[in-house]
Amino acid sequence: MTYKFQLSKWQLIAWSTGLLLSTPLFFLLVESLQGDSEVFTHLWNTVLWDYISNTVLLVLGVGLLSCLIALPLGWLTAYCRFPGKQQFEWALMLPLAMPTYIIAYVYTDLLDYAGPIQITLREWFGWQSPNDYWFFDIRTLPGAIIMIALVLYPYLYLIFKTALREQSFKLVQASQLMGLSAWKSFFKVSLVLSRGAIVAALALISMETMADFATVSYFAVSTLTTAVYDTWFGYYSLTAAAKISGVMLLLLFLALITERFSRRNQAVFERQSSVNSEALYILKGKSAWLATGFCSLILIISFIIPMVVLLKYAIMYFDQAWSSEFFSYAWQSLKVAAVVSVVTIVLSVLVVFYQRIAKQVNPLIPGRLASTGYALPGTVLAIAVLLPLTLLENTINRILTPYNLDIGLLLTGSLLTIIFAYIVRFYAVAHGAIESSFSRISPSLDMASQSMGKSQGHTLRLVHLPLLRRGLLTAGLLVFIECMKELPAALLLRPFDFESLATHVFQYVSDEQLELASISALFIVVVGFIPLYFINRSMEQHS
Amino acid sequence: MKKTLALVVGLIISAPAVATDVVNIYSFRQPFLIKPILDDFTQQTGIKTNVVFAKKGLIERVKREGKHSKADLVLTSNFSALIQLEELKLTRTIDSEKVNKNVPAAFRDGDGQWVALTKRVRNVYSSKERLGPLPELSYEDLAAPEYKGQICTRSGKHPYNLGLVASMIAHHGEVQTKTWLEGVKANLARKPQGNDRAQVKAVKEGLCNLALGNSYYLGKMLQDEAQKPWADAVNINFPNQTNRGSHINVSGAVITKYAKNPENALKLIEYMTDNKAQNMYASLNMEYPVKPGVKLSSLVASWGSFKEDSLPLDEISKYRPLALKLIDEVKFDL
């Protein structure tokens, strides 16, 4: 009896979370089913296919480039010893703290036709016009792919590295003993064992890429996200915009189904008893240089150059850019990010735990439902969140009217709405990281705990949580940083007197004057360092 | 969990209370553009201003919030937003002798639902070095084969360009405008991108010889040491001076239907249409004041006087949806 009651308790929590977090999406879909298909048909006949192909190419491109960057980095820092390894291990996460629109801005400034690099080249070689030479055009689809991948690769890097660390070294050692070269062992053992983690990270990267608005619009690359904006704010048709969001979700579900399908028979339960502090491969000579060189190159491009440019701006424009209000913006951003991180972690642990213990059909549904918000672009999400919340508010107000009471905009006029929107948006980030960590805990531990008469709640608290510590930290870090950077939803949902660092920076970026917001931009990045520091310390202590 | 809940509740409670002497503003216009004006208003009247800034989605927000909306006033950066607010019945009448006196009828709604605050001209910049001034240039000329590969512009879907295309439809009809748009697209030096400032920069660097842009961007660039060389590289041209005049867009304001502080909102609008604020708009933002007789900034004045297209804004606004469709049909941005 007890067992049954407990299961239904977990079921209730998981399903409530799934349903609650998918409510905005549900409202949006209802909106998309309304009439007014004239605009949608027009788009379908004119530009929609261009948008879809751009979106698919963008997602595939970012995914591929992230793999090319992050998998070697993850493997090198997890298993190898080479000069600078310890510093790189930490530093390679840093680009995560950099909002994509900042890196895009910085590189456009550097690389476009009117930027210093091309100007210098023209001066050197005497070229007069664009017809005299070829140069990589940054404001294009490939440019957007590079910019987004440079910021998002750390997702894959972090999750892949965590997965490698949590795998038994014995397997890799065994592959070594059987004479597999490092390369072969990487492909045949590490990649295969971490496939689940890699796919989970790629799913996150894909969703984040799909939702990106700032970079693609800055680069004039029309994607479904920009189409949603245009339709909504240009054609003033929320219904058609919702229909396009529907197309995006369809793509997303296809991706998720493919992911599930590819992992259908996979179950890998590995856990090291203690991580070997000795590296498996000690790189020397050319390979050591190559490893250090590759890590340095990625770090320089993805982080150091943008930081140097920001610092240069901050120094040059200090008088115009400095404001004592930064501390209050930073504090506002921090408190929202902290609340959202804690809530999403708690919710995703509960939902993933339910997935683990549930005996019902399709226990994955609540988690999938709760994760759908991630693919929505911030502005769409903002309205999707406003739809149910205003309805709720209005209903409560209507009920209270006869009693001369009125809650006004208690929900939508306060920070609660932003917090809810962020939870909807970033739940998937926490879920992905925690699910991947959970999957590596052998079910035999659960059985052992159960056989000792421990309840499921006890098992979760005493067995799983300690083992999940690193996954939880990773999840919390990712959500925290995402919240710090989040922009469109914050712009739209913030109450009076609320300014986050991101909204402050974007006001200037949107006017192509990042210089004047360089100090705030630096703040966002520096504030992002704090959780990075903690997670790194925890990883070090663990090993 | 309990702590989290406590924190969440704490955050909600800490949401700002609504004081009485305030005016709450939803602004499409950048805070740093209007802040000096708002600060001066507060100093003059003691009325505090709260601003939520966003470039998009504010109208949707006002609509959804309904009668509980905290917004008293919406500041827009183009006429189509003003007219959309009116069409959605989210506005209330601006009933003020002062405003009527300050702002000519052409820049006010006939029913008093919106009022323009500044005028913004859609100029064509030309390379000083390669083309020189083009006093007789028209928007129609931008489709002429002689300018092939020479034109730079921001997205066709940006409200400033949409307004221009809508005015072309109003003057020439749909078919001719579509042909014109195709011609302009064929003349582009690069895919539409960046803002108006970026176009001037591209002219300076020789990527294009002509660029569309609002005049105040030029003023802003001339004030910035780093950007002055870009601005110095172009001539500012007021198109269609030999016929109907240059296309004018406006920034403006409405008082929301459910404003909780309508008197304060009205005071702010009166202040914004009056000499001091109009002067500040002119000198700080390099925009053209709507109030006749207000002195232009010396820089703006140095660009000379020009003839404005006299077609009423609500007439142009009717063609805005069609303009957007045409831009999609010719795949202007792709």
Nearest beta carbon to residue B57 from set A382, A410, A414: A382
For chain A, how big is the Rg over CA atoms in Å?
24
What pLDDT, in 10s, does the model give residues A363-388? 888 888 898 888 787 877 887 898 89
**How far is CA A481 from its chain centroid?**
9
Chain A nearest CA to B233, separation (Å): 13
Q: What is the reported pLDDT for A387?
A: 84
Task: Give the C-alpha separation, A235 to B262, whole Å.
Answer: 30
Q: What is the reported pLDDT for A54?
A: 94
Task: Give the C-alpha separation, A131 to A123, whole Å.
Answer: 15
Paired strand residues for B126 = B210, B235
Q: Coil, strand or helix: which one is A386?
A: helix
Over pLDDT 90: what percentage of chain B? 64
Q: What is the sign, positive or negative, of the torsion defined by CA atoms of A505, A506, A507, A512?
A: positive
* Low-confidence stretches of chain A (pLDDT beneath 50): 1-2, 270-275, 277
Interchain proximity A343–B4, CB inside 8 Å? yes
Q: What is the reported pLDDT for A2?
A: 47
To test the contact with chain B by mutation, choose from A122, A492, A500 the residue with the greatest count of B C-beta atoms within 10 A, namely A492
* pLDDT for B16 beyond 80: no
Task: Give the C-alpha separation, A446 to A356, whole Å.
Answer: 10
Higher pLDDT, A421 or B5: A421
Whether B10 has its CB under 8 Å from any CB of chain A: the answer is: no
Three-state DSSP string of chain B:
CHHHHHHHHHHHHCCCCCCCCEEEEEECCCHHHHHHHHHHHHHHHCCEEEEEECCCCHHHHHHHHHHHCCCCEEEECCHHHHHHHHHCCCEECCCCHHHHHHCCHHHECCCCCCEEEEEEEEEEEEECCCCCCCCCCCHHHHHCHHHCCCEECCCCCCHHHHHHHHHHHHHHCHHHHHHHHHHHHHHECCCCCCCHHHHHHHHHCCCCCEEEEEHHHHHHHHHCCCCHHHHHCEEEECCCCCCCCECEEEEEEEEECCCCCHHHHHHHHHHHHCHHHHHHHHHHHCCEECCCCCCCCHHHHHCCCCCECCCCHHHHHCCHHHHHHHHHHCCCCC
Interchain proximity A415–B11, CB inside 8 Å? yes
Task: Characterize the bridge pairing of strands B115-127 and B210-214.
Answer: antiparallel
Q: Coil, strand or helix: which one is A465?
A: helix
ipTM of the complex: 0.80
Whether B331 has its CB under 8 Å from any CB of chain A: the answer is: yes
What pLDDT, in 10s, does the model give residues B193-207? 888 888 999 999 888
Chain B nearest CA to A443, separation (Å): 27
A402 by Cβ neighbours in 10 Å (0-12 / 13-18 / 19+) ranks as exposed
To test the contact with chain B by mutation, choose from A36, A127, A379, A512 the residue with the greatest count of B C-beta atoms within 10 A, namely A512
Task: Give the C-alpha separation, A339 to B278, whole Å.
Answer: 44
A226 neighbourhood in chain B, CB within 8 Å: none
Contacts of residue B225, defined as CB under 8 A and 6 or more positions apart, other chains included, come to: none
Q: What is the reported pLDDT for A262?
A: 63
Whether B191 has its CB under 8 Å from any CB of chain A: the answer is: yes
pLDDT (mean) for B69-91: 92
Task: Give the C-alpha separation, A311 to A318, whole Å.
Answer: 10
Q: What is the reported pLDDT for A1?
A: 42
pTM tops 0.80, yes or no:
yes
Q: Coil, strand or helix: which one is A257?
A: helix
- Which pLDDT band, with edges at 50, 70 and 90, does B19 fall under? very low
Q: Coil, strand or helix: which one is A254?
A: helix
Give yes or no for a contact between A511 and B195, defined as CB atoms under 8 angstroms apart. yes
pLDDT (mean) for B132-154: 95
Residue ranges of B 58-77 with Cβ closer than 8 A to chain A: 58, 60-61, 64-66, 68-70
Task: Characterize the bridge pairing of strands B91-92 and B48-53.
Answer: unpaired
Cα distances from A91 to residues A94, A154, A536, B48, B237, in angstroms, run 5, 10, 10, 45, 51
Contacts of residue B322, defined as CB under 8 A and 6 or more positions apart, other chains included, come to: B166, B169, B174
Interchain proximity B68–A393, CB inside 8 Å? yes
Paired strand residues for B290 = none
Task: Give the C-alpha separation, B178 to B126, whole Å.
Answer: 24
* pLDDT for B7 beyond 70: no
* pLDDT for B15 beyond 50: no
Cα distances from B231 to residues A185, A427, B223, in angstroms, run 59, 47, 10
Q: What is the reported pLDDT for A52?
A: 92
Q: Phi/psi at B96 (nearest 5 deg)? A: -150, 125
Interchain proximity B57–A419, CB inside 8 Å? no
What pLDDT, in 10s, does the model give residues B178-191? 999 999 999 999 99
What pLDDT, in 10s, does the model give residues B263-321? 999 999 999 999 999 999 888 888 999 999 998 888 889 999 999 999 988 889 889 98
Q: Coil, strand or helix: which one is A34?
A: coil
Interchain proximity A232–B57, CB inside 8 Å? yes
Q: What is the reported pLDDT for B334?
A: 86
Give yes or no for a contact between A250 and A241, defined as CB atoms under 8 angstroms apart. no
The per-residue pLDDT of chain B, averaged, comes to 89
* pLDDT for B110 beyond 90: no
Interchain proximity B31–A507, CB inside 8 Å? yes
Contacts of residue B316, defined as CB under 8 A and 6 or more positions apart, other chains included, come to: B79, B163, B166, B167, B170
Interchain proximity B69–A409, CB inside 8 Å? yes
Contacts of residue A358, defined as CB under 8 A and 6 or more positions apart, other chains included, come to: A7, A10, A11, A14
* E strand spans, A210-280: none
Which tokens belong to B122?
Answer: 């859609």
pLDDT (mean) for B43-50: 94
- Closest chain A residue by Cα to residue B19: A496
Task: Give the C-alpha separation, A376 to A366, whole Å.
Answer: 18
> What is the torsion angle, in degrees rounded to the nearest 10, for the CA atoms of residue A312, residue A317, residue A323 and residue A329?
-50
* pLDDT for B5 beyond 60: no
